[in-house]
Amino acid sequence: MADIRNVPGPRTDDRFTVGVSRDFLDSEGNNVWGDIRLGELDAGPGVDWHYLPRDTDELLAADVDGLDAVLFAGPAVTERTFAGATRPPLLFARFGVGYDAVDLNACTRHGALVTITPDGARRPVATATLALLLAVLHNLPAKDRLVRTGRWAEKEQWMGLGLTGRRVGLIGLGNTARDLVGLLRPFEVDVVAYDPYCPQDVARVLGVRLADADTVVAEADAVIVMCALTEETRHFVDARRLALMKPSAVLLNVARGPIVDEAALIEALRCRRIRGAGLDVLESEPPDPRNPLLSMDQVVLSPHALAWTDEMSAGNGGSAVRAVLDVSQGRVPPFVVNREATEEPGLVRRLGVWAAGSGTVGVHA
């Protein structure tokens, strides 16, 4: 049940107030993501928004108390976000698809919805994953370094692998992975995936064969990690599973660093147990300068920003803004990750207030 101390009384104004986390801004006050569709908030009837005054790694009650919604990227949302708040936000709209820094239980207890932006991230992440896969298979960074360092004659040592006709193994077959499957079709690849939550009929329509995780890593020429980080998936790709991979295979991780046992991966690469790796994410970000991955030619790295494009900015921003506007009209938006919060009396009551003000019938989308 919701904490009754945080169930609000009647509103005394008709403005829906939104705070945007300050980590979106650079030192000169420019949005580092460019156009994230915040202008659509200006067009929302009765909506006021501003950047939060403090740049912080964790949102505290003092940062958000009195706001109706928070659109955020990097800061964590924890129990301390609500501690002592008299009117906590109805919504925390995450700019992105990961929510491992969000305490969902705390949000639910305090009657706050949490949304993510899979519709905005799906195509940019799928495209970035394909780019990373091709870069790893073609040894692109190593070939770039040959030219820059005057080692042109060494190019014969860096023969790549073609993607056409290979087998791609997916750890996770969610929305982004399904979009990647479509992008892979022209390469005539065979796709095998592990996802205990994906219905067989969905995989069948995609032309994907579902299998257990060990089979996926053992059969694939490229293993791509695309699942969420949970206690179940932490170090899911460990030394044992890396040992099952073909020596000619590559591993990509575009999800979260801790899903792969990094020490085991380093050892597998060092002893040439697998061919190479492409990593947009690492266990520790940014990595220690002494991390062996940084000096390995067969590894392609990205600073957890592989999909950062104008397409991603507009997609994630637009999706998060739409979630905010839905709640400002008393509607439950799509892509709520703590659906149980929609049953909390305090949240239902507050949504009802905004629904009544907007003329919306009912509060559920």
Q: Over the stretch 182-203, which tens digit does the pLDDT of each residue have? A: 999 999 999 999 999 999 999 9
Do 11 and 113 have their domain in common? yes
Last residue of a domain, which of 297, 322, 338? Answer: 297
Q: How confident is the model at residue 134 (pLDDT cuts 50, 70, 90)?
A: very high
Task: Round the average pLDDT of the chain to a whole number and report it.
Answer: 93
| C-alpha pair distances (Å), 341 with each of 21, 67, 93, 181 | 23, 18, 14, 33
Write the pLDDT tens digit of every residue in 311-332: 999 999 999 999 999 999 999 9
Q: What is the pLDDT of residue 305?
A: 94
Q: Could you tell me if 181 and 82 lie in one domain?
A: no
Catalytic residue from among 110, 178, 256, 350: 256
pLDDT for res 71: 98
Q: What is the pLDDT of residue 5?
A: 29
Give every strand in the sheet of 113-115, ordered side by side.
47-51, 16-20, 69-72, 91-94, 113-115
- How many angstroms separate the most distant Cα atoms in the chain? 75
Which is catalytic among the residues 58, 79, 188, 285? 285
Around 246, how many Cα atoms within 13 Å sit in the side-chain half-sphere? Answer: 14
- Classify residue 361 by burial, with Cβ atoms within 10 Å: 0-12, 13-18, 19+: exposed
Closest CA to 93 of 31, 177, 24, 43: 24
**Is 162 in the same domain as 260?**
yes
**Domain interval for residue 279:** 140-297
- pLDDT value of residue 44: 83
The answer to whether the CB of 160 falls within 8 A of the CB of 278 is: no
Given 254, 272, 297, the domain boundary residue is: 297
The distance from CA 64 to its chain's CA centroid, rounded to whole angstroms, is 23
Does residue 171 sit in the same domain as residue 291? yes
Residue 133 located in a structural domain? no
Number of domains in the chain: 2
Q: Cβ distance 106 to 82 under 8 Å? A: yes
Residue 132 located in a structural domain: no
Residue at a domain's end among 274, 297, 320: 297
Please tell me whether residues 159 and 273 are part of one structural domain.
yes
Q: Is 285 a catalytic residue?
A: yes
What is the Cα–Cα distance from 87 to 68, expressed in whole angstroms?
8
Same domain membership, residue 284 and residue 158:
yes
Q: Is residue 124 one of the residues assigned to a domain? A: no
What pTM was estimated for this model as a whole?
A: 0.84
Q: What are the residue ranges of helices labelled H in the chain?
A: 39-43, 61-64, 104-109, 118-137, 140-148, 175-184, 200-206, 213-219, 239-244, 262-270, 310-328, 345-358
Q: Look at residue 92 in the predicted model and tell me its pLDDT.
A: 98
Rounded distance between C-alpha atoms, residue 328 and residue 356, angstroms = 11
Which residue in 175, 188, 202, 185 sits closest to 319, CA to CA?
Answer: 175
CATH code for the domain of 28: 3.40.50.720
Instruction: Indicate whether 91 and 147 sit together in one domain.
Output: no
Residues 6 or more apart whose Cβ sits within 8 Å of residue 236: 171, 213, 225, 227, 259, 260
| Percent with pLDDT over 90 in the chain | 92
For 15-72, what is each residue's pLDDT tens digit?
999 999 999 999 999 999 999 999 999 988 899 999 999 999 999 999 999 999 999 9
Say if 135 falls within a structural domain: no
Q: Distance (Å, rounded) from C-alpha 244 to C-alpha 70?
A: 44
What pLDDT score does 22 carry?
Answer: 97
Residue 336 lies in a domain: yes
Q: 20 and 69 share a domain?
A: yes
339: annotated active-site residue: no
Task: Identify the pLDDT of residue 13.
Answer: 62
**pLDDT higher than 60, residue 169:** yes
Task: Kindly state whether residues 160 and 216 are assigned to the same domain.
Answer: yes
Residues 154 and 246 in one domain: yes
Task: State pLDDT tens for residues 194-239.
Answer: 999 999 999 999 999 999 999 999 999 999 999 999 999 999 999 9
**What's the pLDDT at 12?**
45
pLDDT of 125 reads 96
Do the beta carbons of residue 47 and residue 76 sit within 8 Å? Answer: no
Q: Same domain for 160 and 253?
A: yes
Confidence of residue 361 (pLDDT cuts 50, 70, 90): very low
Q: How far apart are CA 45 and CA 41, in angstroms?
A: 8
At residue 10, the pLDDT reads 38
Q: Which region among 8-12, 29-33, 72-76, 129-133 has the lowest average model confidence (pLDDT)? A: 8-12
Give domain status of residue 173, yes or no.
Answer: yes
| Position 15 in a domain | yes
272 has catalytic annotation: no
Confidence of residue 359 (pLDDT cuts 50, 70, 90): low
Name the residue with tokens 């000619």: 248
Q: Give the separation between CA 100 and CA 255, rounded to whole angstroms.
A: 11
Q: Is residue 145 part of a domain?
A: yes
pLDDT average, residue stretch 142-164: 96
Looking at 40, 304, 311, 349, which residue is catalytic? 304
84 with 187, same domain: the answer is no
Type and span of the H or E element at 238: none
- C-beta of residue 206 within 8 angstroms of C-beta of residue 181: yes
